[in-house]
């Protein structure tokens, strides 16, 4: 039985190729994005390129972050079903330090005025000026939230998320490997992880919301939605589940993970199905309440997207595909056990959840000047290559099957 994953040269070459495409995309995207559209003069500094960087930094960071959440959930719930795919989950979480690093880099670059994505990083927004010389950029609504966006507080929060999440991810991984190597009498180390997982979940429960306000919702700085945090979180979660499922199926096809039962795949399919619904529910509820109350300052978010800036053909497909496709395709039991269905649905909604992040970022940053062109595709592929490289590299570092885990036997005989 093949217990160790080998990161073959062929797979490595593919990752390098994708990263190479991404690198060309970096240069191409930056150079080609030199024109400043007339209606965005003063707000535009290679925005399309930087917004794409933000979309991809966030999307792939979100996958590993929600992967860490999902892993912690298995620990805290003392769930046995997923023990055989635990190493796959861990490998997905191992991108977290890289992803968080890129996110922080994006924010720091914004603070140093390398890009103009975050309007509130421009301090002119907050100064009123005098009666004789009023500041034309001053925005009372934004200034009202000034204390929340003050530089030390903002970066203290950001660093807090990054350090704590990163530390928990390293902790889970280190203890898991330790259990493998040294054994675990009375499962003491395992239960340490259970305790850490519970603490992480509480911390994550609050910070996943505040993070989405800080890093994404603040792009539309005049708009706020209390559902945004959950909506972002569920989007990350479903992307993460798709990644875990696709990796598991791919490994199984290549002769690894023989102990993963068909029932485990079925369970992963159920998660994909269920969390797709969670995402659709949150998306729709955010939309419906805003649409119904029809308050101008709230409705602007959807008005910009659907009418003003012409995102109609990315907003509606992102919602309907991510909702209807898994619903119709994964409803039956047989479909959830069919690798073909899982892969087709998985790949499709993976792309459309990327498009969902695109819909969050782009309208606020490039307004109507969006395209799904070479910049978007190459940067996505580049980040995908980086993500896969880090994940597969970490997958190869440890045996694919955990040892000395209290629920391993149960998971090997999972039957539903």
The residues binding other proteins (CB under 8 A) are: 284, 287-288, 291-294, 331-333, 415-416
Task: Find the shortest distance in angstroms from Cβ 230 to other proteins.
Answer: 17
Quote the least distance from Cβ 224 to other proteins, whole Å.
Answer: 20
- In angstroms, how far is the first alpha carbon of the chain from the final one? 24
* Shortest distance, position 342 Cβ to other proteins, whole Å: 19
For 230, other C-beta atoms within 10 Å of its C-beta total 21
CB of 290 to other proteins, least distance (A): 10
> In the complex with other proteins, which residue's Cβ is closer, 69 or 319?
319
Residue 96: which H helix or E strand, with range? helix 96-111
Token pair for 314: 């990315």
- Count CB atoms within 10 A of the CB of residue 155: 15
In the complex with other proteins, the residue whose CB is nearer, 7 or 284, is: 284
Residues facing 129 on adjacent strands:
134
Inter-residue contact 57 to 383 (CB < 8 Å): yes
**Please, which residue, 130 or 293, has the CB nearer to other proteins?**
293
- Cβ at position 337, least distance to other proteins in Å: 13
CA atoms within 13 A on the CB side of 314: 22
Q: How far is the CB of 263 from other proteins (least distance, A)?
A: 10
CA proximity to 36, closest of 28, 47, 25: 47
Q: Which is nearer to other proteins, 138 or 281 (CB)?
A: 281
Rounded to whole angstroms, how far apart are CA atoms 330 and 167?
36
Q: Which two three-digit tokens encode residue 138?
A: 């001053």
CB nearer to other proteins: pick between 31 and 416: 416
Q: What's the chain's length in residues? A: 416
Q: Which is nearer to other proteins, 286 or 378 (CB)?
A: 286
Which position has the token pair 């993963």? 260
């Amino acid at each position: 039985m093949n217990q160790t994953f080998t990161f073959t040269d062929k797979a490595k070459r593919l990752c390098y190729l994708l990263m190479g495409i991404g690198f060309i995309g970096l240069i191409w995207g930056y150079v080609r994005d030199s024109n400043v559209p007339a209606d965005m003069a003063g707000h535009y500094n290679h925005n399309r390129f930087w917004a794409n960087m933000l979309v991809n930094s966030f999307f792939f960071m979100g996958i590993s972050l929600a992967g860490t959440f999902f892993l912690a959930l298995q620990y805290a719930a003392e769930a046995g079903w997923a023990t055989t795919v635990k190493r796959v989950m861990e490998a997905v979480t191992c991108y977290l330090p890289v992803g968080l690093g890129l996110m922080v880099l994006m924010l720091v670059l914004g603070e140093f005025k390398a890009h103009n994505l975050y309007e509130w990083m421009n301090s002119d927004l907050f100064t009123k000026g005098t009666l004789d010389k009023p500041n034309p950029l001053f925005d009372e609504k934004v200034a009202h939230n000034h204390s929340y966006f003050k530089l030390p507080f903002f970066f203290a929060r950001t660093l807090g998320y990054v350090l704590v999440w990163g530390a928990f991810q390293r902790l889970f991984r280190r203890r898991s490997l330790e259990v493998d190597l040294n054994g675990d009498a009375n499962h003491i180390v395992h239960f340490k992880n259970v305790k850490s997982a519970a603490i992480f979940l509480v911390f994550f429960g609050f910070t996943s919301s505040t993070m989405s306000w800080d890093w994404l919702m603040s792009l539309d700085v005049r708009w706020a939605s209390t559902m945004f945090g959950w909506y972002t979180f569920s989007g990350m979660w479903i992307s993460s589940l798709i990644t875990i499922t696709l990796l598991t199926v791919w490994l199984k096809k290549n002769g690894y993970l023989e102990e993963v039962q068909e029932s485990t795949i079925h369970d992963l399919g159920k998660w994909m199905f269920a969390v797709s619904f969670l995402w659709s529910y949150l998306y729709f509820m955010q939309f419906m309440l805003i649409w119904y109350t029809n308050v101008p300052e709230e409705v602007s978010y959807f008005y910009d997207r659907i009418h003003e800036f012409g995102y109609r053909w990315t907003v509606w497909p992102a919602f309907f595909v991510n909702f209807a496709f898994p619903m119709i395709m994964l409803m039956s039991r047989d479909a959830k056990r069919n690798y073909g269905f899982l892969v087709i649905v998985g790949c499709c909604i993976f792309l459309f959840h990327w498009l969902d992040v695109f819909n969050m970022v782009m309208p606020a940053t490039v307004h109507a000047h969006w395209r799904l062109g070479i910049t978007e595709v190459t940067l996505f592929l580049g980040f995908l290559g980086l993500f896969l490289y880090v994940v597969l590299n970490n997958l190869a570092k440890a045996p694919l099957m955990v040892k000395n885990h209290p629920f391993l036997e149960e998971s090997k005989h999972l039957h539903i």
